[in-house]
Amino acid sequence: MVPTPEAAPSDETAPTPDPFRGEEGDPVVPDRWTHNVVVANDIEVSYYRAGRDAADAAATVIVAHGFFEDARCKRRVVNALADDGYDVVAYDARGHGHTDAPESGYAPADRVADLVGVLDALDLENPVLYGHSMGGSTVAKTAAEHPERVAGVVTEDPAGLRSMADLDLDEIATEMREDVREDLAKSFDELLAAYEDPDDDPASAVDEIPPELYATFARSDQRTSEHVAAVPRAGYPALADVFPEVEVPALVLRRDHATVPGSIRDGSPVEERATDLDLAASLPDGRLVHVPGAGHHVVLTAEDAALAEIHAFLARLDESDDRD
């Protein structure tokens, strides 16, 4: 399969032609990546691949993106791992990117089934799972339920570290559905402008996106279905229950509570860190790292430190495999 070069489509600034699925036609594929689809869990799943062939790679790493994003938004970590000799598969979650967007199937169990379906369709054995936010909870739950399929797991500020019991999930889902509908009615230029000149919200994750990825994230906004509003309604798996069941080696990359706005903390930075560490202590073979200066997008906000932790974790897995 020949990689498709990164190139802006000629009609990129035109209004999205479909009220549910923008970026009409084939996706814009980053340089040195390939794109394809597989049938997994009865839907077509879009995925990208980069790095070495699986037979020659140090390992295969599966990358699961966060809510309201797509696989291309994980370009930094995908390229870093590909450059380091890994085979990297990054897939679009259902309702995101170029993966199917059925009306149902957005609960945690469905996301696990989708991921396992990708492993089956691509005949992947013992990959390392990597996930950010929503994807972080998905890979953790997958590792807990299918340890025989997984060599290790890395979660980047995963969803589900804190209880959602006090939140009105139906209200959140309704608001998100309206937000998606509003975005899908906008042109690419309007979506791009939201990254170039974000609202003055100190807790906004948009502020964590580097300028060179603005267009990538705007394209992901074009490819988000309103059906994904079912994700917050279904909730995220409570990692306090999931972590004790994760038998494989695990690394949790966590935001730096000292540098994020107090409005998104449950306590002081010290209290937050202590709570995180208590939770991570339940991992049978894992650890949690608070990455200095990191926000929710840990790799995008503290790239060097985050990648150093990821590379060290993967190197230790390689050494363990060699000893076995």
Closest Cα to residue 129, out of 314, 323, 319, 322?
314
d(CA 291, CA 252): 10
Residue matched to tokens 């062939």: 53
Please compute, for residue 49, the number of CA atoms within 13 A of its CA located in the half-sphere on the CB side.
Answer: 18
Return the axis-axis angle of helices 169-184 and 214-222, rounded to nearest 10°: 100
Residue 274 identity: A
Annotation: CATH topology of 34-165+235-323: Rossmann fold (3.40.50)
Q: Would you write out the chain's pLDDT as a tens digit for each of its 324 residues? A: 333 333 333 333 333 333 334 566 678 899 999 999 999 999 999 999 999 999 999 999 999 999 999 999 999 999 999 999 999 999 999 999 999 999 999 999 999 999 999 999 999 999 999 999 999 999 999 999 999 999 999 999 999 998 766 778 888 888 989 999 998 888 888 888 888 887 766 556 678 999 999 989 999 998 999 999 999 889 899 999 999 999 999 999 999 999 888 877 888 999 999 999 999 999 999 999 999 999 999 999 999 999 999 999 999 998 776 656
Tell me how far apart the alpha carbons of residues 160 and 108 are, in angstroms, rounded to a whole number: 11
Sequence spans of domains, the chain: 34-165+235-323
Beta-carbon count within 10 A of 10 CB: 7
